[in-house]
Amino acid sequence: MERRLMADSQNPRNVVRHTRYELSTRPFIVIWELTQACDLACRHCRAEAQPHRSADELTTEEGFRLMEQIASFGPPPPLFVMTGGDPFKRPDLFELVRHGAEVGLPVSVSPSGTPTLTVENLRRLREAGAVALSLSVDGSRPAVHDGFRMVDGVFDWTIAGWQAARELGFKLQINTTATPHNLDDLPDILRMVRELGAMTWSVFFLVPTGRGRTLPQLSPEQFEDVLNFLYDAGKVISLKTTEAHHFRRVVIQRRILDQRGIPDAVGIMGLGETYRRLRARLEELVPEVDFNTPARMRRAPLDVNAARGFVFISHVGTVYPSGFLPQAAGSVRLQPLPDIYRTSPLFQTLRNPDLLKGRCGRCEFRTVCGGSRSRACNATGDLLAEEPWCTYQPGSFPYQQEIAEFFQAA
């Protein structure tokens, strides 16, 4: 249910996907945090997960009603993800998955890499009706990954789960949170994704919330370098980003440069040593690909933002524009989810790019980017403030005519 802006693969405007339906009336993806219970203590955890479940979690019956409300957005229904914490900490997980499948939802589950990630549990998920799985891999070797997850053995459990999920026929997404700890390991994680196989590599960019408030972050310049590396990597595998809305801006810029025959983006994009290192390692790992030759990305980024296509429901039923944005829009215990999504003043505010402040408000890419509202809010206290981890100065890209043509076509 997505369309591309242009059918001509050589046109630089053909780089961002849009849904066929109006995102103010129905979300593209709904994420439900089943529980905050988890046996890991990951350094970046948004939920500050703990080993034990909360007595205030949505009950099984409340979960059933929630999934019926999500299905009512369709047809087709939104993508639906059950996350945590660790969803396997809920004994009714398989019952919940089965009901979601029965009401017509494409159910995805995002488990933690713990001893609960067994072949038997994955098989039961598949039999209950789950169609997709997402697993987190934050390093290409145990020392990097386990150090981030704060528990030894997580890497091995995750890789075993990865292989079992593929054998069981799950659509598989691998999630990686990019921070200074694994910055130079990103090309090798990409290599793992190619070798072990996955539908999508999803690269998350840290938002300073939960335990992530004290975690070292990439600098804005490193952030920009990584986004440009991901543009190159997207010619090799299917990938997407989370909380990096300006990746869409980077993709548009780089596509314009490709079509103008300017393969070396370092000077025009103002890229630094981090990009050079990542690009060199990528070329070393994938020597069969000429990254100086224009080529389309395997997966164009999707134009979806917090509150505009995306909605998050916490373990107690509170509705948020994003799991990383701490301002609540309501509760499914008090109001149906479709009503909250469509009428919440918070959601309506976030859907209006004309309200953005600072550089985001002046930026020619604001309608397709808009910056991470979660990062802006957590860093400044103002959800409409400019994206603090974006280095772009509005109007500085030299090919403004091509940008104008892109938005005319859109």
**CATH number, position 169:** 3.20.20.70
Counting residues of the chain whose pLDDT is more than 90, the rounded percentage is 78
Q: Which residue has the tokens 């999934």?
A: 67
Residues spanned by the domain of 113: 2-305
- Mapped onto helix, strand or coil, the DSSP state of residue 207 is coil
Domain count, the chain: 1
In this predicted structure, the answer to whether residue 378 has a pLDDT above a threshold of 70 is yes
Q: How long is the chain?
A: 410
Q: Which helix (H) or strand (E) holds 231?
A: helix 220-233
Residue 354 lies in a domain: no
Lowest-pLDDT range, 149-163, 204-218, 289-303, 370-384? 204-218
In this predicted structure, the answer to whether residue 409 has a pLDDT above a threshold of 80 is no
In this predicted structure, the answer to whether residue 2 has a pLDDT above a threshold of 70 is no
Q: What is the pLDDT of residue 284?
A: 97
At 13-40, the pLDDT tens digits run 468 998 989 999 999 999 999 999 987 6
Lowest-pLDDT range, 110-114, 272-276, 328-332, 356-360? 110-114
Asked if 53 and 89 touch (Cβ cutoff 8 Å), the reply is yes
Residue 384 lies in a domain: no
At 42-91, the pLDDT tens digits run 555 544 557 788 999 999 999 999 999 999 998 999 999 999 889 999 99
Lowest-pLDDT range, 22-31, 222-231, 297-306? 297-306
At 312-321, the pLDDT tens digits run 999 999 999 9
Average pLDDT in the 101-129 region? 95
In this predicted structure, the answer to whether residue 7 has a pLDDT above a threshold of 80 is no
- Mean of all residue pLDDT scores within the chain: 91
Beta pairing class for 239-242 and 107-109: unpaired
Residue 310 lies in a domain: no
pLDDT band at 410 (very low <50, low <70, confident <90, very high): low
Residue 107 lies in a domain: yes
Average pLDDT in the 267-292 region? 95
Residue 9 lies in a domain: yes
Residue 158 lies in a domain: yes
Q: What is the pLDDT of residue 52?
A: 81
Residue 358 lies in a domain: no
At 152-167, the pLDDT tens digits run 888 999 999 999 999 9
172 dihedral zone (left: phi>0; alpha: psi -120 to 50; beta): beta
In this predicted structure, the answer to whether residue 213 has a pLDDT above a threshold of 90 is no
271 closest CA partner among 221, 321, 232: 221
Residue 17 lies in a domain: yes
